[in-house]
Chain A
Amino acid sequence: MRIVLNSLERSFVDPAGSSRRVISGISADIAAGALVAVTGPSGAGKTTFFNLLSGLLLPDSGTITAGKVDLTKLTERERDRWRAKEVGYIFQTFNLLGDLSIIDNVVLPHILIGNGAKGELEKRAIESLTALGIGDHQHKYPHQLSVGQRQRVAVARALLASPRLIIADEPTANLDDASARIVADTILALRGRSTILLASHDGRFSAVKPDHTIALGGEASHA
């Protein structure tokens, strides 16, 4: 999916009451299937940038054209639907639902958002979990898995509906080596098929040359 960003701006009002511009004048034209490295120190606005691109937040100004739609023109419900269909979001804190089994964690959200039939989704989920090396754990609960195994579950969930946009926000931070490698390889293998936005300090990714780099943080200013 091609993504065109036009002069994105986003500020936050901090608790003290002063406004802080986190995203400032970002423009880019990202080809479908490209691998984009989003760089910048902590607090630079990488997560904010991803939230804008997934339709979770709206920019103060500027446009985000993803495929044929301008996200900034959609209602919240439409953005929710768009994100459910098009985006696979992997984040640093492995957010699984503690009350659901592993297989339900992967499949249930997709059933709820209408991404397919249960049987078909479950079949694909088991394949995916197996490929990620945790096929045996499908009936366990998140607390029974290691941190690395849980992140692999989150990856399986994010990729289940073959999203055209993959957002990976520090996906391998704090993971054991084996899990980090599997997660990195799985994401990178989708290059060319899905557009990938990646923020990571992990050396495993720096070995690969991205198609684009979006550097954040330098131009952040107080308004």
Chain B
Amino acid sequence: MRKMNAFFTLVFASLKGRFFATTVSVFAVAVALAVVAVTGIVSFAIAKQAFESGRKYPLIVAAEGASETQIILSTIFHIDKPRGKIPFETYETLKKDPRVTAAFPIAAADSLGVFPIIGTNGDFLKDLGATYRGDIALADSHDAVLGATVARQLLMNIGAEFTGTHGMGGSADEAHEHGGHIYVVKGILDPTGGPEDAAVYTSYKAVWAIHSVHEVHAVQHADEHGEDHHDHDRYHLSDGMLTAVLARTGNPVQVFELQQEYSRPGLTAVNTAGAVRSFQKYFNTAGLVATFFAGLTLLIAAALILAITLMALDARRRELALLRILGIGRGTIALLIMLETLIVTVAGVVIGFLLGHGVPTLFAADISRLVGASIEPWHIGANEPAALIGALLLGQLVALIAMLRAYRMNLVEESAKN
């Protein structure tokens, strides 16, 4: 045991002596593994959210011209700008359709800081099934309901007032203040773990009210500067327009029927569950690509560690020869080198794991908002165990190579030559 202590003192002193090389090596491994961890966490959160949305809103009707993925991203995750608009009657006819058990209007165009403002109605909020404080009926066009994260981050409570900025997530520069329309917070949702945590809800009528005023300005503005007004208008909602309608039916066959019926000029009807499946395939592929690059990084890290170790071994010939002269055996020295290398990779694996899950823990709210789905920071992704074990095996391999090299070094002859 005494010997073990002395042995480890020597190992750690040597690692500390090469602080820079040690740190670089440890972090090379850690970063590669953290990437795998974060990819796993994010793709799991998105997949879960997408899967639940498919069950909750099996049919989405939005404007023609957007892909199914774009429509899901903008209406469910609120992370893409809505493309185009659809007439309000689409909502009304869907709602009246006997095959439809529930339908909700979505009119999104504005944001409150980084949080999107979604124009909808009280039915939609009640249907979320979240518990809440205050009132979520959205009866008046000035009423607003905040998601839990929004209320917490902006320190807003019931009764607070705000005005939205035009264009989602836009910076202060590009956003026009809608000075005219003031919202009053009437209700705050409790945390749900879904995209609603990071959303602000108002009545769709409020969105109409703002934009009918705004359009007049926009036209004048465009005329003065001679810009193409049409493109600018794309995200503007005029009176009676929505960005999407979410609908639920009695059975899956009806989803299929409605999808056929509503796929007509000006509209895109999305079978959410079907789209989510291809969506998931896309994410699995993306995850695989990310893991592949992380694996590549890991290989480079291993090569780096091997190079650093072998270089250090050469630089330390004299010190190692000294140990031999003092009577310390070849095997002990080889073990010393192996342990040094192994500690670097094990430290890299441990730090990578903590980093890959710790950083998401610290920034859970921001990441969740960014990806539009609540992340579970300690979720172990499908590729993570393999990456961790791979890193450890690779580290062991490098350590063994270094050990063999150290064992074979002819240190005594070296020292004899002076």
On whether the beta carbons of B6 and A112 are closer than 8 Å, the reply is yes
Stretch in A32-40, A49-57, A132-140, A201-209 with 4+ CB within 8 Å of B:
A49-57
Chain A residues bordering chain B, tally (CB within 8 A): 34
On whether the beta carbons of A95 and B327 are closer than 8 Å, the reply is no
State whether A111 and B16 are in contact (beta carbons under 8 Å apart), knowing that A47-B416, A89-B326 are contacts in the complex: no
- Residues of B contacting A8 in the complex (Cβ-Cβ under 8 angstroms): none
Interface of B: prevailing SS: helix
- In the assembled complex, A9 has its CB within 8 A of some CB on chain B: no
- In the assembled complex, A41 has its CB within 8 A of some CB on chain B: no
On whether the beta carbons of B416 and A112 are closer than 8 Å, the reply is no
On whether the beta carbons of B13 and A99 are closer than 8 Å, the reply is yes
- In the assembled complex, A117 has its CB within 8 A of some CB on chain B: yes
Complex CA–CA separation, A66 to B323 (angstroms): 22
On whether the beta carbons of A97 and B7 are closer than 8 Å, the reply is no
- Residues of B contacting A104 in the complex (Cβ-Cβ under 8 angstroms): 9, 13
Looking at the complex, which one of B6, B17, B328 makes contact with A84 (CB distance below 8 Å)? B328
Contact flags B330-345 to A (C-beta < 8 A → 1, else 0): 1110000000000000
- In the assembled complex, B286 has its CB within 8 A of some CB on chain A: no
On whether the beta carbons of B412 and A56 are closer than 8 Å, the reply is yes
- Residues of A contacting B319 in the complex (Cβ-Cβ under 8 angstroms): 95, 97-98
On whether the beta carbons of B330 and A76 are closer than 8 Å, the reply is yes
On whether the beta carbons of A95 and B412 are closer than 8 Å, the reply is no
**Distance (whole angstroms) from the CB of A14 to the closest CB of chain B:** 11
**Distance (whole angstroms) from the CB of A56 to the closest CB of chain B:** 5
Contact flags A43-77 to B (C-beta < 8 A → 1, else 0): 00001100100101100000000000000000011
Contact flags A82-94 to B (C-beta < 8 A → 1, else 0): 1111010101010
On whether the beta carbons of B6 and A111 are closer than 8 Å, the reply is yes
- Residues of A contacting B327 in the complex (Cβ-Cβ under 8 angstroms): 80-85, 87, 109, 113
Contact flags A102-133 to B (C-beta < 8 A → 1, else 0): 00100011011110011000000000000000
- Residues of B contacting A100 in the complex (Cβ-Cβ under 8 angstroms): 9-10, 13
- Residues of B contacting A118 in the complex (Cβ-Cβ under 8 angstroms): 2, 5-6
Looking at the complex, which one of B3, B322, B330 makes contact with A112 (CB distance below 8 Å)? B3
- Residues of A contacting B322 in the complex (Cβ-Cβ under 8 angstroms): 95-97
- In the assembled complex, B325 has its CB within 8 A of some CB on chain A: yes
Complex CA–CA separation, A222 to B413 (angstroms): 20
Chain B residues bordering chain A, tally (CB within 8 A): 30
- In the assembled complex, B418 has its CB within 8 A of some CB on chain A: yes
Q: How many A-B residue pairs have CB under 8 A?
A: 88
- Residues of B contacting A113 in the complex (Cβ-Cβ under 8 angstroms): 326-328
**Distance (whole angstroms) from the CB of A53 to the closest CB of chain B:** 12
- Residues of B contacting A95 in the complex (Cβ-Cβ under 8 angstroms): 318-319, 321-322, 325
Complex CA–CA separation, A54 to B16 (angstroms): 32
Complex CA–CA separation, A81 to B331 (angstroms): 13
List which B299-357 residues lie within 8 A (CB) of chain A.
Answer: 318-319, 321-332
**Distance (whole angstroms) from the CB of B358 to the closest CB of chain A:** 30
Complex CA–CA separation, A153 to B9 (angstroms): 19
On whether the beta carbons of A47 and B418 are closer than 8 Å, the reply is yes
**Distance (whole angstroms) from the CB of B305 to the closest CB of chain A:** 19
On whether the beta carbons of A80 and B329 are closer than 8 Å, the reply is yes
Interface centre among B7, B326, B416 (most CB of A within 10 A): B326
On whether the beta carbons of B330 and A56 are closer than 8 Å, the reply is no
Looking across the interface, which residue of chain A has its beta carbon closest to that of B326? A109
On whether the beta carbons of A48 and B416 are closer than 8 Å, the reply is yes
Interface residues of A (CB under 8 A from B): 47-48, 51, 54, 56-57, 76-77, 80-85, 87, 89, 91, 93, 95-100, 104, 108-109, 111-114, 117-118, 157
Q: What are 29 contact pairs spanning A and B, CB under 8 A? A: A51-B415, A51-B416, A56-B325, A56-B415, A56-B416, A82-B327, A83-B325, A83-B327, A84-B327, A87-B327, A89-B325, A95-B318, A95-B319, A97-B13, A97-B319, A97-B323, A99-B16, A100-B10, A109-B323, A109-B326, A111-B6, A112-B3, A112-B6, A112-B7, A112-B10, A112-B332, A113-B326, A114-B3, A118-B6
